[in-house]
Amino acid sequence: MNDTNFDLFHLTVKLSRLDREDLVIKTLVDSLNQIFPQPGISYDEKQPSPKKECITIATAEDQFGSLQFKTNPSKEEKEKIQQTASLAAIILQNLKRQKAEEQLKEKEKTYRTVFENTGTATIIIEKDTTISLVNQEFTRLYGKPGRKWKTR
C-alpha cells in the first residue's frame, strides 16, 4: 500500500470515529488538503456549480455538499478523492440516521412519560381489537389484560 492509500485509509478510520457531521466535513477537507495540497480543496454545502471541477459527497439517498478545487487534480488524485468522499458520505449518512434514531427515542420517551402519567386509565387498541398497550392506572383499576385479549 503506498503512502497516499495508507493516509486515506487512516483518514477514513478517523472520520468513522467522529460523532458530528460538521467535524466529519472539516476533518475530511483539512486532511485531503494535507494529502493532496495541489488542487486546493474546499467544501460547499450547496449544489456544485457546473462550471467548477468538483466531487459530490453523496449516497444514493442523501447529498451532503461537494468538494471543489482551485486547480484541477490529476486523474489519479480525483479517483482517490472521489473514493474517500464516497466513504465520507456513508459515514455522514450513518450519523444522520443515528441522530434521527436518537430524536425518535427521545420523542418515544416523552410520549411514554405522558402516557404513564396522565392520571387516567389509558389503553391503546389496534385495528384488530388487540390491546397493545395500557398504562399503570389502567392496570391498577382493571388489571393487566392478556397478551391477545380482544375487546369484543
- Note the residue count of the chain: 152
Q: Are 54 and 68 in contact (CB under 8 A)?
A: yes
Sequential pLDDT tens for the chain (152 residues): 578 889 999 999 999 999 999 999 999 999 999 999 989 999 998 866 666 778 999 999 999 999 999 999 999 999 999 999 999 999 999 999 999 999 999 999 999 999 989 889 999 999 998 888 899 899 889 887 755 545 55
- The strand pair at 63-69 and 54-58 is best described as antiparallel
- CATH 3.30.450.40 domain extents, the chain: 3-103
The C-alpha atoms of residue 58 and residue 45 are separated, in whole angstroms, by 11
Name the fold adopted by 3-103: Beta-Lactamase (3.30.450)
The cell for 61 is 439517498
Q: Is the whole-model pTM more than 0.85? A: no
